[in-house]
Amino acid sequence: AQSVTQLGSHVSVSEGALVLLRCNYSSSVPPYLFWYVQYPNQGLQLLLKYTTGATLVKGINGFEAEFKKSETSFHLTKPSAHMSDAAEYFCAVSGMNTGFQKLVFGTGTRLLVSP
Three-state SS at 19:
strand
Q: What are phi and psi of 61, to 5 degrees?
A: 60, 25
- In one letter, which amino acid is 59? G
CA atoms in the 13 A half-sphere facing the CB of 72? 13
Three-state SS at 88:
strand
By beta-carbon proximity to other proteins, the closer residue of 13 and 93 is 93
Q: Does 49 bind other proteins (CB under 8 A)?
A: yes
Q: Give the nearest distance from C-beta 107 to other proteins in angstroms.
A: 4
Among 42, 61, 80, 114, binds other proteins (CB under 8 A): 42
Q: Does 61 bind other proteins (CB under 8 A)?
A: no
Q: Does 26 bind other proteins (CB under 8 A)?
A: no
- How many angstroms separate the CA atoms of 35 and 46, rounded? 6
Instruction: Point out which residues bind other proteins (CB under 8 A).
Output: 9, 32, 36, 41-46, 49, 51, 90, 94-97, 100-103, 105-108
